[in-house]
């Protein structure tokens, strides 16, 4: 089993694999981290240098595609069962696109208050969805939600929900987190960055607690008290690409523990292949367990920027687009963007569809003319030879 004896070994291996852009990232690492984890007392590393190393290593993964399986359970609601979610993600820097497929429970309601009553009944049943459906109170529906975030604008489309432009500061129900924050983003938030997850830049305090062995790996334990009085503790394995083996979050009695596994043997990727997220309530009882499993991944691949636009979400021509930030319809999808009304959107979309056809017809016509001319020239030459 291969491993890297030091951070410099890890960088050295990756230097030979990096592009010219990767060289810039490597130089940045040296500037930020001062050759990695320099010693502050002859034995212990600088905790801020370790956190910077984590950030720089993950930022070096500029783009990629992943397929993940997410399994959620609720120990206090055992009758609820397991929820399985399938994710496909593409990212380039802060921009990302997610396809999320899972099964949702739809509550049947006919009257004004029927939905509230059905939901109260579901809660009384321990959120047992299977029994709820068996009683005819609801049904299961397979959903496919497509979400895109370009660093500024957050958009979403689902066939049963329509197309929406959303406010990213209000978070997301579906998964739209930066894949590079996997294992350190305890709530998988849309607006979290590597810097905000690590929290050291404007922290009230950053301290090195000591060394600790996690799942057979030697790590440095670092405690960060951020400006919001949230306590984040990280167990960082500096000898293999700044792997974060464990993360703990604490605030107001709420606690979240994340444990991460990495590829074995270690690869140049600083991102985990499996993350176990355990959330505890204020009574210190385990409330939710979520497992992220990376089934397939490829990093450093080019991603078409179109995937985080409305066109990349696969909207049907003429689809109505709602801007949730201002609570009104802003237009209809015209194949590329949004037009003010449906007739205009359909006209633009059909014109765009006809353009490739026009080019194809023009090229076909030129080919026919060229072939015809060649046939005529050859026939004329045959006739001349026959006369001669």
54 and 175 fall within a common domain: no
The answer as to whether 44 is a domain residue is yes
- The predicted pLDDT at position 7 comes to 38
13 and 26 fall within a common domain: yes
The answer as to whether 280 is a domain residue is yes
The DSSP line for 8-33 is HHHHHHHHTT--HHHHHHHHHHHHHH
Angle between the N-to-C axes of helices 20-33 and 47-59, in degrees from 0 to 180, rounded to the nearest 10? 170
Contact criterion met (CB below 8 Å) for 98 and 174: yes
The answer as to whether 68 is a domain residue is yes
34 and 161 fall within a common domain: no
The answer as to whether 349 is a domain residue is no
The answer as to whether 363 is a domain residue is no
CATH code of residue 273: 2.50.20
Q: Which of 308, 323, 346 is the last residue of a domain?
A: 308
The answer as to whether 353 is a domain residue is no
Query: Which tens digit of pLDDT belongs to each residue from 138-158?
Result: 999 899 999 999 999 999 999
51 and 149 fall within a common domain: no
The answer as to whether 285 is a domain residue is yes
Query: Which tens digit of pLDDT belongs to each residue from 276-329?
Result: 999 999 999 999 999 999 999 999 999 999 999 999 999 999 999 999 999 999
Instruction: Record the pTM.
Output: 0.78
Number of domains in the chain: 2
Contact criterion met (CB below 8 Å) for 105 and 140: yes
Tell me the C-alpha distance between 209 and 382, whole Å.
94
The 8-class DSSP code of residue 51 comes to H
Give the mean model confidence (pLDDT) for residues 339-344.
93
Query: Which tens digit of pLDDT belongs to each residue from 358-381?
Result: 445 555 666 666 666 676 767 677
238 and 168 fall within a common domain: yes
Its domain, for residue 207, covers: 63-103+143-308
151 and 271 fall within a common domain: yes
208 and 239 fall within a common domain: yes
Query: Which tens digit of pLDDT belongs to each residue from 274-287?
Result: 999 999 999 999 99
């Amino acid at each position: 089993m291969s491993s890297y004896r030091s951070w410099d070994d890890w960088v050295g291996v990756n230097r030979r694999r990096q592009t010219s852009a990767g060289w810039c990232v490597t130089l940045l690492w040296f500037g930020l981290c001062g050759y990695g984890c320099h010693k502050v007392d002859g034995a212990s590393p600088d905790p801020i240098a370790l956190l910077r190393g984590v950030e720089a290593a993950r930022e070096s993964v500029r783009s990629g595609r992943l397929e993940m399986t997410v399994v959620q359970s609720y120990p206090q609601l055992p009758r609820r069962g397991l929820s399985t979610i399938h994710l496909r993600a593409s990212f380039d820097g802060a921009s990302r696109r997610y396809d999320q497929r899972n099964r949702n429970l739809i509550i049947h309601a006919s009257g004004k208050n029927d939905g509230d009553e059905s939901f109260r009944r579901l809660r009384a049943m321990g959120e047992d969805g299977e029994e709820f459906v068996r009683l005819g109170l609801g049904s299961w529906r397979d959903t496919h939600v497509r979400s895109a975030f370009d660093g500024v604008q957050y958009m979403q489309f689902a066939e049963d929900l329509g197309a929406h432009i959303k406010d990213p500061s209000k978070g997301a129900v579906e998964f739209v987190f930066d894949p590079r924050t996997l294992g350190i983003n305890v709530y998988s938030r849309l607006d979290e960055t590597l810097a905000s997850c690590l929290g050291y830049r404007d922290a009230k305090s950053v301290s090195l607690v000591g060394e600790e062995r996690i799942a057979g790996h030697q790590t440095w334990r670092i405690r960060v008290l951020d400006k919001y009085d949230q306590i984040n503790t990280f167990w960082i394995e500096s000898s293999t690409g700044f792997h974060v083996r464990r993360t703990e979050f604490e605030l107001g009695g709420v606690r979240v523990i994340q444990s991460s596994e990495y590829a074995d043997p270690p690869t140049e990727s600083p991102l985990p292949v499996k993350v176990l997220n355990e959330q505890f309530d204020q009574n210190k009882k385990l409330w939710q367990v979520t497992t992220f499993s990376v089934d397939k991944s490829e990093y450093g691949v080019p991603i078409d920027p179109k995937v985080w636009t409305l066109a990349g979400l696969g909207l049907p021509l003429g689809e109505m687009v709602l801007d949730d930030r201002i609570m009104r319809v802003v237009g209809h999808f015209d194949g590329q963007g949004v037009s003010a009304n449906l007739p205009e959107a359909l006209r633009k979309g059909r014109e765009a569809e006809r353009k490739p056809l026009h080019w194809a017809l023009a090229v076909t016509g030129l080919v026919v003319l060229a072939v015809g001319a060649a046939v005529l020239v050859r026939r004329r030459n045959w006739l001349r030879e026959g006369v001669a």
